[in-house]
Structure 1
Amino acid sequence: MFKYNLIKNFILFFFSISLSINFVQAKVLTSVKPLGFITAAIADGVTDTDILLPDGASPHTYSLKPSDLIKIKSADLIIWVGDDMEAFLPNFLKSIDNSKQLELAANPNIKALLRAGHSHEEESDEHDHDEHSSDDHHHEHHHGQFDMHIWLSPQIARAAAQSIHDKLVVIYPDKASLLDENLSKFTSKLKDTEQIIAKKLNSVQNKGYFVFHDGYGYFESEFNLNHLGSFTVNPAIQPGVKKIYEIQSELSHKNAVCVFKEPQFSPAIINKLVDGTRVKVGEIDPLGMDIELSTDAYCKFLLKIAQQFLNCLE
């Protein structure tokens, strides 16, 4: 038995060392995939880009795994939004050198572009507190002063790309000219993409709709979409009875064309709300689950969201 345990422990130790070695690569790590889209364009030919959250996971509810901690510790740079979005990150990042972190929401140029969000008190009023766990309230608290879904703003994406570029120039000074070129290509493609999307969505700007998760304000404002309301600020928390009644009334009185859900959160309550009405149910993916990292991934991501709006509103 002793010999068996000794061999077993040796194998586990060898496996853990091998796992660590496999993860120790010079790369940039982003918290969510859309930030990875922007980073992959700027870092192209300079370093690899990796994503922390797997497809299907949400930054609102994610918990770090041991393999995630290895990734974070071995990264040359960790790019994230801020603690009002990735509530699971700040405590761990305290042990990581500041020079290896880039908190985008703390950048003055991005901070100046942030939209006001719902307050914690407003969110609390929409739900019955006794229906939720203490963990839900923890996530609920992190949706307050500003809307942190910054990757849905082409304007903020430009500022983020500049910030990522500047940070990478410091880390890889010998690649400065390539980083300059990548930034120029990204901003040019993004400008063209915005024009394409504006033309696409022009015909549906007057069509009203509801979203399950109130996280599309930047995109809606940029392209003048007719957002009538949302079910919840935090998709990890189901709307309360009072909120459901309000939505049912608004669906009938405001002539909504569509209600949008998300692949990360597809509550059955949406189908019940539209039952017996002419309101369609659409789906928007705010994290680009099926889009691969590439130099034009961010533009593909925005175009897909535009098409998802169009498919339901037309």
Structure 2
Amino acid sequence: MFRYNLIIKFIALFVIGGVLPISYAQASIVTSVKPLGFITAAIADGVTTTEILLPDGASPHSYALKPSDLVKLKSADLVIWIGDDMETFLPSLLRNIDDEKQLSLANNPKIMPLLREGHDDDHDEDGDEHDHHHDHSHGHELDMHIWLSPKIAAVSAQIIHDKLVQIYPDKSALLDKNLAMFIEQLKETQQIIAKKLNSVQNSGYFVFHDGYGYFENEFNLNNLGSLTINPAIQPGIKKVYEIQTELNEKKAVCVFREPQFSPAIIDKIIKGTDVKVGELDPLGMGIDLSKDAYSHFLLNITQQFLNCLA
């Protein structure tokens, strides 16, 4: 691991210093996670290209950068990300990139992250240990999954638009048009989702990853709590009994997992209960970049909730 980190630092030094040649075309805008790419692609449609840093299945908490990623960051006109508490691998690299070429949405005063109760959350999207700067064991914490809020997405779109107008002033008219179209489509999508989820607002469920608060709050979903187990380790008999008791006492309809949870662990937990198992994808795996991608992303999550709760 030490040797790997040394190699990455060496390559970063060459890339940031401009020594490593860039022999192929790079995207003008790079976003850290896919949902930010969905929003950006809509605003930048016809103006410039957008590329995603993290591949499908990678965790923003623990992603290991490749040399090509470093070149991509250095050559981008703009890097868009959430903030230190989400993409924990980025801050040290971005310190070597001009502030005018990066946009941290969590640090923008127009965006107010959701405050949630702290808890013993020992896994993330990939089941790895969290490396956050805030404490998960007690008190409160800020929920940085801001892309799951349509309201914050609208604010983010405006922020991204304003930044792109600075970078591409000759494209301001097209950027204005793209923003207006995005906001209009987002409003229509929110109305569709509200109607779809209205019938399941009283259906209680548990999640393994407590990262859906924005979406749940906006559409009045009934999250009963999160089950904090490590997806890589089989839970013991006592833990299984505690979870099954909670599922039954709170009359849960569904338990939502994410792709890293093995079917064997899920089957063990719900055995002897009437609880169904659903799967939620908070990062838009399998959805291609397009000007309509963010709406597709929200509708996809909506259908995932319905598949289990309806």
1:185 is aligned to 2:181: yes
What's 2:116 paired with?
Answer: 117
Q: C-alpha offsets along residues 267-298 of structure 1, whole Å, 9 cap, x if unaligned? A: 74222111121111111111111111111100
Q: What is the aligned partner in structure 1 of residue 131 from structure 2?
A: 138
Higher deviation after alignment, 280-289 or 139-148: 139-148
- The one-letter amino acid of 1:260's match is F
Q: What's the counterpart of residue 5 of structure 1?
A: none
Tell me the residue number matched to 2:3.
none
Q: What is the distance in 2 between the residues matched to 1:33 and 1:265?
A: 21
Within 5 Å, which residues of 2 pair with 1:3-82?
20-22=22-24, 24-82=25-83
Cα separation, partners in 2 of 1:137 and 1:157, compared to 1, 3 Å: closer
TM-score using structure 1 length? 0.83
Sort the Cα spacing of 1:74 and 1:177 in 2 relative to 1 into closer, same or farther, 3 A. Answer: same
1:157-306 to structure 2, matched below 5 A, reads 157-232=153-228, 245-266=241-262, 268-306=264-302
Contact residue 61 and residue 139 of structure 1 kept, 8 A: no
- Aligned-pair distance for 1:223? 0.4
Asked if 1:85 is matched to 2:86, the reply is yes
More helix, by proportion: 1
Distance 1:295 1:252, change over 3 A: same
CA distance in 1, matches of 2:304, 2:82: 25
Distance 2:85 2:231 in 1: 14
Q: Secondary structure in 2 aligned to 1:174?
A: helix
Deviates more, 1:64-73 or 1:208-217: 64-73
Distance 1:291-1:268 versus aligned 2 partners, 3 A rule: same
Q: d(CA) in 2 for partners of 1:103 and 1:236? A: 30
8 Å CA contact retained: 1:57, 1:264 = no
Q: Secondary structure at the match of 1:117?
A: strand
- Tell me the SS of whatever aligns to 1:256: coil
Contact 1:26–1:48 under 8 Å retained in 2: yes
- Cα deviation for residue 263 of structure 1 reads 2.1
Q: Which one-letter code corresponds to 1:212 in the other structure?
A: F
Confirm or deny: 8 A CA contact 2:231 2:260 kept in the other structure.
no
Q: Is the 8 A contact 1:210 1:256 kept in 2?
A: yes
Q: Higher Cα Rg: structure 1 or 2?
A: 1
The 1:67/1:213 distance shift into structure 2, 3 A limit, reads same
Distance 2:163 2:287 in 1: 25
Q: Which amino acid aligns with 1:149?
A: H
Q: Do the aligned partners of 1:43 and 1:179 also contact (CA within 8 Å) in 2?
A: yes
Cα displacement (A) at 1:19: 8.2
Q: Which residue of 2 aligns with 1:96?
A: 97
What's the counterpart of residue 130 of structure 1? none
Partner Cα distance (1:190, 1:239) in 2: 41
CA contact (8 A) 1:208 1:227 kept: yes
- The answer to whether the 8 Å contact 2:253/2:274 transfers is yes
**SS of alignment partner, residue 57 of structure 1:** coil
C-alpha distance in 2, partners of 1:288/1:142? 27
Structure 2 Cα separation of the partners of residues 139 and 225 of structure 1: 27
- The verdict on how the C-alpha distance between 1:238 and 1:34 changes in structure 2, with shifts beyond 3 A counting, is farther
- Whole-Å separation in 2 of the counterparts to 1:61 and 1:265: 17
Q: What is the alpha-carbon distance in structure 2 between the residues aligned to residue 100 and residue 18 of structure 1? A: 19
Cα offset, 1:136, TM superposition = 2.6
Q: What is the letter of the counterpart of residue 40 of structure 1?
A: A
| 1:226-280 deviation digits (Å, cap 9, x = unpaired) | 00011239x7886986765543221011111111111255574222111121111
SS at match of 1:146: strand
State the 1:140 CA deviation. Answer: 7.9
**Does the residue aligned with 1:282 lie in a helix, a strand or coil?**
strand
Could you say what the CA RMSD is over the residues aligned between the two structures, in angstroms? 2.4
- Decide whether aligned partners of structure 1 residues 45 and 226 sit closer, same or farther in structure 2, where only a CA change above 3 A counts: same
Counterparts of 2:162 and 2:239, CA distance in 1: 44
Q: Per the alignment, in what secondary structure is the counterpart of residue 213 of structure 1?
A: coil
Corresponding residue for 2:7? none
| Equivalences for residues 148-163 of structure 1 within 5 A | 148-163=144-159
Secondary structure of 1:247's partner? helix
* Residues 85, 142 of structure 1: 8 Å contact kept: no
Contact 1:84 1:142 in 2 (8 A): no
Counterpart-to-counterpart distance in 1, 2:263 and 2:62: 15
